[in-house]
Amino acid sequence: MKKILIIGASTGIGRALLEEKLKNSLVYSISRTPPDASHSNLIHHSADILKDPLPDIEQIDSLIYCPGSISLKPFQSLHADDFRNDFEINVIGAVRVIQKYLPILKKGADPSIVLFSTVAVKLGMPFHASIASSKAALEGLVRSLGAELAGQVRINAVAPTITQTPLSASILRNDKIKESIKERHPMKNYLQAREVAQMADYLISDSASSISGQVFVMDYGLVSFKL
């Protein structure tokens, strides 16, 4: 049975991934609030990954870092602290977790790491300066660590378009806006958390053993197509 560590499994993509992995894996969860799930395969640790000591875990095969932010403001309205906050949760948190668990991860079976970026790194979007900057740094981390850890630990990222999660609820706040956002995507849809979780699940699977240092765009054609 594989042993998976999910950071941020209490909501959104992390929660969808937790549901998927509990079927056949031992899942360690770290988040400030416990996920609303009870299962013999679930071991939860409550912690703020930016402030609290991270728990010791004896063995893991995969690490998935799900925390993120959506800070959409006009550039002139952003303060330095907005950039710092986005960088802390998206990059520093991931670095802190990876450094903590890398020694035991290296001992795992086909060990792997999955992080999350955004399509806004590749496609310029208004009001995304802060979040796109931090996620671009995260993509750089994926490529650098992919090279540094080649042959030891695989690391990849998923870069989704807007996804139906509690984090995006303020954007996808009514049916009219949802339909408008669907129309902006060439394939006339946006993502559900389950879809993104399934991609992350694939990237930690044995089927992806040849893949590392890559960023996978899930965009319903937003970045890829011009129709």
Note the pLDDT tens digit of each residue in 39-79: 999 999 999 999 999 999 999 999 999 998 887 899 999 99
pLDDT (mean) for 206-219 = 97
Structural domain 2-164+193-218, CATH architecture? 3-Layer(aba) Sandwich (3.40)
- DSSP letter string, the chain: -EEEEEESTTSHHHHHHHHHHTTTEEEEEEESS--S---TTEEEEE--TTTSPPPP-S--SEEEE---------GGG--HHHHHHHHIIIIIHHHHHHHHHHHHHTTSSS-EEEEE--GGGTS--TT-HHHHHHHHHHHHHHHHHHHHTTTT-EEEEEEESSEESGGGTTTS-SHHHHHHHHHHSTTS--EEHHHHHHHHHHHTSGGGTT--S-EEEE-TTTTT---
pTM of the model: 0.95
pLDDT at position 70: 82
Task: Show me where the domains of the chain are located.
Answer: 2-164+193-218
pLDDT at position 227: 79
pLDDT at position 166: 84
